[in-house]
Every structure is written in C-alpha cells, then in structure tokens.
Amino acid sequence: MTKASDFEFVRMDESHVRIPKQGKMRVDGIIYADETIMKGVAGDESPVQVANVAQLPGIIKYSLAMPDIHWGYGFPIGGVAAFDLSEGVVSPGGVGYDINCGVRLIRSELEKKDLEGRVAEIVSALFSAIPSGVGSKGPIRLSAHEERDVLSQGAAWAVSQGFGEKEDLAHIEESGKMGGANPEVVSPRAKERGRPQLGTLGSGNHFVEIDYVAEIYDETVARVFGLFKDQVVIQVHTGSRGLGHQVCDDYIRILSEAARRYKIELPDRQLCCAPIDSKEGREYLGAMAAAVNYAFANRQIITHWVRESFSRALGQAPGKIGLQLVYDVAHNIAKIETHLVDGKERKVCVHRKGATRAFPAGHPAVPEDYRQAGQPVLIPGDMGRESFVLVGTPRAMAESWGSACHGAGRVMSRTEAIRRARGRSIARELEDLNIVVMASSRETLSEEMPEAYKEVANVVDCVQAAGIARKVARLKPMGVIKG
C-alpha cells in the first residue's frame, strides 16, 4: 500500500507543495500548506489521496488540496479537481456524504454591547427553535409532491412558503437553486429520510453560532458586505441531512458497478466514478443537484427560525434587528463551470470536497451588489476560537479553479477527541472563555472540542499567502448550538 512517505514533496514556495507526477498519476498533485501545516498533513496519509485523485481519467492540470486537508472518503477533505466533460469522470467521493454541507453568514444591526447578559437567553431560544442532533426531525412534514418541489427549487421553495425573504436568494450560491436537479433519480429511501428532516441542524460539526466582528482587515470590502467592527453576526452550518447521505450511499454502489463496466482502473475503490456523459454520471449529477437544493432550503428555513428566535428573545421586530443574509456557500459539490484552460475558456466539472468557491470581483456568478468586491468566502473555525470572512481573487480563478479552503480541518478523529475529553467539561471550558454553548449530547461537545481542529488562523493565513482569497474580517464566538 502506498504511503505518504513514499512520495517526494517539492516545496514550491511558502504556501505550495508539489507531489510530482509519478506512477499512474496523470497530473501533479499540489497541496496548499506552509511548513507547520505540512507537518500535520504528512502524518495522516491524506497526500496519498491527492495522488490517487491525480490518477482519475480526464483530470485537468493537477489534483489540489486546500490547507484544511485531512483524510476523507475517496478524495481528501479539502480536495479540488476539475475534469474534462468528454473524457473525465464524476465521483461521489469527490463530493462527499454530506452533499452541500455549507455555511451562511447573517449580519445584524446589533453590536456586541447590545447582547450583554442576553446571549444565554438567545442561545436557549435558538436551541428550542432549531431541531438538532443525530436523526433530528423538525415540525415540517413534506408530502411527496412538496419534497419534489424542494429538490427542484431549493431555497426558492422555502421562501415561497414564508421562510425568509426573496432578497435572500440573491446572496446564495447558485441563487439557492442548482440547475440540473432530477428528483426522479433520487431513491425512495433517500426521499423517505429527507421528508421529516427539513429545517434541522443534524449532528457532528454542524452549528448555529452567534459571533461578533472582532477585526476588520479590508474596510472597503467589509462595507460592501455590510460588516462593521463589533457587529453581531450569525453563522449557520449544516447540509442535506439524511437525504444527501443516502444519495451518496446509493450512487457509490451504482458508480462502483459503472466503473467496472466502463473498465476504469481505480487506485482506491472509494474513488468509484463514471464518465460524466454516461447515463450513470448524468443521473448522479441530477441526484446530487437535488440534494444540493434540499440543503439550500434547509439552511433557508433555519435562517427564518434564527430571525424569529432573536426577535422573540429580544422583544424586537425582525426588521429592527436587521438580520440580512450576507452569503451562503456550498462546501461539498460538483459543478459544471467555465474556466480558462491553456488560455481558452472551457467547461469543466469541478469537484469541491470540503472546499469553498472563491470567485473574484467582476465574475458574473458573484451577486451584483458584491461584484465590485468579489464573492464572500466564509471560513468557520471551531466553536472556541474564531472564524473568518474572506473574498475571492483572480489568482484563485487562475490556479485553484476558483476555490479556497472551507474551515480549520480536523487534526484528531472523533474517537480520539472523545478519549481526550474524558473527565473534562467542554461546556465549562467554553463558558470560561465567555462562550455559551448548548448541544444535544455531551459526546458532541467532546467530538468538536477546539483541540480537535487545526488553528483556523494558520489555515486562513496560508490561503492568503497563496493569494487564492483575501482576509476581510475576523469573527469571535459568543454563543453556539450544536447537534
């Protein structure tokens, strides 16, 4: 079995490490990592996955990994790769089980001082309003027809049902509705799992977090995004719940069979795939897009409940609090996009597995009111440290398929985190940092304790040094609910 120690790593500059093409690799691998990050990366064998992805048919230019890289299913978490539409493949392992796990940022008119002595009350209101935890179910019960509409329309369906505002849609990737969704190729089991879970947070690293803007790095861009120092903002991080998980599970089986049928040689069976233009490839993309839309609708409904919770806890009308969506980005997704390849515009299938789109100023996919600045890039940290707002850059378009990292990245398995947390009260430790936390289980807090993650500031600094995104603001947590 190939190990990371078998590879030659070539340091290109302070933020890029190359794995030169060797063996059956069709392209080089490139990891965005400084010296500190690289020491941790080499220890978890995720570079092997970077090299494995480089062996897939139709991959273009290189196999990439962001600085939050860690071991994942098939692709590493943080993996990015683009494939030719005629010769390339699509792989569920390049998207992940939690299809369109993503994060949105909501700004307010409140300042940190306005919540003095009120954070615990608001956290309690959020925890009561937003179902969380493993297998959590919400108050919304979809009929089969309504679920098809959710899978086709995404966040627009939620807004049509009174969950949020039409203006929200302009500030969601794909406007909250990914094209090409095909509910007919989503299995009955996936739909069954999805019907009771819309508007739920789930478990693991998903959260709703109350933050304040601790630092502004770029006043001009922050002003465009509506951010200011000491402002209260809220992050919502969740995905497509059981529906997306089942879609991935279903298509891993289908595409494993397809890979054998199309005689695709796989370095790892977790990289099962099918040609993009095959029946199986098209059906996976249609089912994946449907799950993407479910996740957009899910975050939209939770946003509505965030607004109601703040209003109820503070006794103020939502309009006075001013909870407006800054942006919503997807993390786990495969998309047909137009990029420059060898100086020519070309449509390619970009897989982002634990990576965030980071388009620059002037790009037509950036919301019109942000186009002068660029796309907001949202990088949540762990619940005890900090998060960052960045903006996409032209260099990202030139070298990373318009992509940046999606978070801090784990350095510790969930099992190891639980072991190390034994005998500790993570909630009390966070309370000592003036962070109020509520979770559906003590185990979740142990799994998600700050030490389980890389220091997100280091990851973000690496992204900025590489030039694929630029820092705009730093956020500090005040309160959080976890699954």
Catalytic residues: 406
What single-letter DSSP state applies at residue 368?
G
Q: Which of 246, 232, 209 is nearest to 132 (CA)?
A: 209
Distance CA 461, CA 381 (A): 13
Neighbours of 13 (CB within 10 A): 9
Residue 480 one-letter amino acid: V
Residues with Cβ within 8 Å of residue 85, at least 6 apart in sequence: 276, 277, 336, 347, 348, 349
Distance CA 145, CA 154 (A): 14
Neighbours of 35 (CB within 10 A): 10
Distance CA 213, CA 55 (A): 43
Phi, then psi, of 478 in degrees rounded to 5: -120, -30
Strand partners, 448: none
Distance CA 448, CA 384 (A): 10
What single-letter DSSP state applies at residue 213?
E
CB 338 within 8 A of CB 332: no
CB 78 within 8 A of CB 69: yes
Q: Is the dihedral of CA 279, 284, 289, 293 positive or negative?
A: positive
Q: Which of 16, 102, 100 is nearest to 66 (CA)?
A: 16
